[in-house]
Amino acid sequence: MSAIEPLIDLQDIDSQIRDLEREEKDIPRRQAQERARLAGVNTSLSSAKEQLDALLLRIRQTEAEAADRREKVRQMKIQQASLKTNKEFQAYTMQITGIQQEIDALDARQIAAMDERPQAEARVREAQAKADADKGGVDEFCGELGERLAAVKEELAALRARRKEAAAAVPQNFLRYYERLRTKRWPAAVRLNRECVCEGCHLVQPPSVEQMVQRGGDNIVACTMCGRLLYREPGF
């Protein structure tokens, strides 16, 4: 068996580990994105509720102001009945008319606010329904992601154990070269194709490199440009 073959097996395991490690980092980010999206939906719901609350408060305040003025008119009419001069009577009449105009304006404002109420309540119902539906979907999706994360961690643990065994089978000179290179170049070991081109950096290699790759053995053969380990599959 060529010295490169156990290294290729190790690289295959490392490739799986790299993919799973990316997924392990990506899952919490995806969960955070979903929760952030749900937070936006909840913000819309809170805004709709605040608008409805403000509208209801306006209705109550307008109603209270109108009731206060009606009571004031009632009291003034009682007082007016006991007035002795026509001048005083007319003055009271003018004041009562002014207050009644204020009452009419308050009534108009209250009617307008009451007309807005069904739409405001509908917005709250719609926002609540969306928040409830999205929460269920987000909870389910994040739960699935959590299960996948647990599975990824389990797979990684198994692969890392396999990696130790695979690394022990690689000749030490190849392993040291590979471990240094794989942090800078990936994949660290690549095929030399039929055109004598490195499939890592796509540089044409000199004939001497091709000859060394063909011979195989325990000598490291690296690309003259990128330094990747070069190999050819059996029968290639």
The string of DSSP letters for 87-105 reads HHHHHHHHHHHHHHHHHHH
What mean pLDDT do residues 138-142 have?
92
Q: Is residue 200 part of a domain?
A: yes
Number of domains in the chain: 2
The DSSP letter of residue 183 is T
Looking at the fold, whether 99 and 213 belong to one and the same domain comes out as no
Residues of the chain above pLDDT 90, percent: 87
Computed over every residue of the chain, the mean pLDDT equals: 93
Q: Is residue 236 part of a domain?
A: no
Please give the pLDDT value at position 148: 96
Picking from 148, 169, 190, the residue at the C-terminal end of a domain is 169
Please give the pLDDT value at position 236: 55
pTM above 0.85, yes or no: no
Angle between helices 4-80 and 172-181 (to 10 degrees): 30
Grade residue 217 by pLDDT with cuts at 50, 70 and 90.
confident
Query: Residue 174 in contact with residue 219, Cβ under 8 Å?
Result: no
Picking from 169, 204, 221, the residue at the C-terminal end of a domain is 169
Grade residue 234 by pLDDT with cuts at 50, 70 and 90.
low
pLDDT digits (tens, 9 = 90+) for 164-200: 999 999 999 999 999 999 999 999 999 999 999 999 9
**Residue 178, number of CB atoms within 10 A of its CB:** 22
CATH code for position 75: 1.10.287.1490
| Dihedrals phi, psi of 187, to nearest 5 degrees | -70, 155
Looking at the fold, whether 58 and 164 belong to one and the same domain comes out as yes
